[in-house]
Structure 1
Amino acid sequence: MIAIRLAEIMSALSHALDLTEGQPQGHCIRVCRIGMTIGARMGLSEKALEELYYTLLLKDLGCSSNAARICELYLADDLRFKRDFKLVGSSLSQVLGFVISHTGLQAGLAERFRSVLNILRNGGAIAQEMIETRCQRGAEIARMMRFSENVAQGILDLDEHFDGGGRPQGLKGQDISIFARIALAAQVIDVFFMSAGPEAATAELRYRRGAWFDPDVVDAFLSVADWHFWDDLASPDLETRILALEPGNTLRLADEDYLDDIAAAFAQVIDAKSPYTSGHSDRVALFTDLIAEEMGYDLSARRRIKRAALLHDIGKLGVSNSILDKPGRLEGEEWEAMKRHASYSEEILSRIGAFADLARIAGAHHERLDGKGYPRGITGEAICAETRIISTADVFDALTADRPYRAAMPVEKAFAILRDGAGQAHDPACIEALERAIRRADLAGAKQAA
């Protein structure tokens, strides 16, 4: 057993969720501060406050699952689209204005017209599909991370409105999880606070009282939202104090299996970002483990490297799907944006004490032995053995899986490409270890089939 702060892990992972929602850094942290203030004011029990705390930090667990669909339907940058959509209310004029101003801005006139027309005709069904996918996926991942059904339900109900006009189930009033009622209000408060200040946030809260928001939730917030509260919300040390706010304020004991579950669950968030990366993190983790085993790493070391492999692409949550799923070559700023995902991965993982040693390993997975990689352009011995293993596994999976710009390659062709770059891009020892492991796996499969 090892002592970890569960809150520390979840608050760090919430930064990754902020990235994929296009929100200013610390959005979920501020939402947690707002929501916990409301919950305490409403007199929730200690147990309920604990569950509310994690619901607020993880409210956006399913957010990556609709990113590709947004790009496809709206011909838009999903990060900007999601950021701006949070400022839109329920009025028809606001919704229409948003659709027209955010659809197909970089597309041709005819393509843009077709997209806008499709959305106007099928907007209800489209919204239902995307919100349902997001909410259900978020609840599933919360369960994978061993959170209670109450937390999962809070995430599932996030987009329900108090008057019954929300989605995906059209729940009304007290039928909506109290955690979701608080989280939705806290989310809108932070979005308007960050975009236009405390007065705008308060005005929006009052305007949607009884429609989107539970009046009791609104009244609880308004009773405590003085200037001290707003100053506190903008404080640079807010995250530190949010960690101290964790109900019970004690170290949680977690075994290695729990850390594995957290890494595996968040890999699901990462891979849901693009249809072309479905299962990518799991496969990279598998190939990583095969290489490490072949190279003589013990079980403890293999477990550690596998976690880094599962989380190596967490930074891609901060890259628009208009870039991730682009069928052609990335140019200029597109390529620079893609390269930033490696730095994002290192930054996010370095926030987690239990995963901090994995941060540099995962963040360097696009470095090359000849120094032509990124983000630092380091060479040779500066690239640790664990990173070399993950890098080899990552490229092998990329070559043997479908990508927006090409079909999957046969295994032998993929190995030929890896061997051509051996010593320049990737470590020859890692390539050879993977070849041996794959060959053994093929032989074992052939024997079973016989």
Structure 2
Amino acid sequence: MFKFIHCADIHLDSPLRGLEKYEGAPVDEIRGAVRKALANLAELAIREHVSFVLIAGDIYDGKWEDHQTGLHFAKWLSGLHRHGILVYAITGNHDAENKMTKQLKLPDNPNGDPVMLSSTSVQTVINEGVGVAIHGRGFADQEERENLVLAYPRAVDGLFNIGILHTSLDGAAGGEHKRYAPCLPADLLGLDYQYWALGHVHTRKHHHQADQTPIVFPGNIQGRHIRETGQKGCELVTVSDAGDVQIDFQPLDVFRFEICDVDATGIENPDDLLERFGQRMRAIIATADGLPIATRVIVSGNSEAHVNWLANLEQWRQEIRAYSFTLGAEVWVEKIKFNTQTIRRFDSEDEAEGAIRELIRAFEEAPTDDELRAEIFAELEALKQKLAALHDQFDEFIPHDSATLKSILDEIQPGLLNRLMTDNRV
């Protein structure tokens, strides 16, 4: 029997992605979270007496500015090596982006094997002592568009064969990640390996049936922003003497990102929203393993209180933030979005008003009317140029495609309509 750890997408020293712009953001905790998660990984490997650790790409996060990031990883490797634990890794698209990734020489494994497998051809490392053959190839260039699996060798008889690959795996990444080293599960299964250690997709997912070779994305080891929610960690894999595989997810993260969806349906008293938020947030806290949480609050549903909330948005955002301090846990509210709707529908009298009728028509047609959409994007492009120096801060608020435009319009339409109706009835 032997054990190994499969992890991927460490993104060591990943930037904050503009979090400094939010008042009260736990900048220091988030900045150091990936390093702490990496330390947790080493502690797990030592505690479980694993034979080796596999890293399926994206150790780094693109263009690190100096050698401190690489030196930190080299020191981490040496700590595992002192306990006799081997590490095998491949480069991903982010690693290939930076020249220093190639220039910094990492310490070899205790048995003399290199830590980094080749990025120009498929390399097979055989460890007779453990009884394993590891096959892998990293990215030489950031834009790797070829199916690298076509060059992987067939399984070595008599050994436990592992394929390590950084890939979007067609159909797995969705719109979240770019399509790199595309392949199909059938391509992987056709090589008769006993385990496929994949990286690139940051959401943990298994792409195999119960009776098939495991095809595993472990996700990244630490969430870095609000689109990377829930537990993050690695897979602890145990291989029996008979070759049976047991896969156990092990959380490593030290800071948790979560979406707090609050259903405001039926609320009549605006103040009742706070209790609804508290109920939902307490449920999230109960599953957060005691970690500090950054949350995006999204309030939705049909409510009589809708007009009150929309008319006093900033006040209610601060009310929710203040209420979060009473929940008995370390919670930071990253953003609050109101997607509520009024229970009262617009009648024929409302829609007869010229401004209301025209506004409704514009909202309905903008996402699909080519001419109107082109006009909107042209105006926004001019705005982007004016805000070029602050692009990172404002980019998420500027739509780049029809779907994003529709999402933003859906969010702001209720407030505009209700404000216009209120003004008309004064």
Q: What TM-score, normalized by structure 1, do the two folds share?
A: 0.25
Greater fraction of residues in helix: 1
Greater fraction of residues in strand: 2
Q: What TM-score, normalized by structure 2, do the two folds share?
A: 0.26
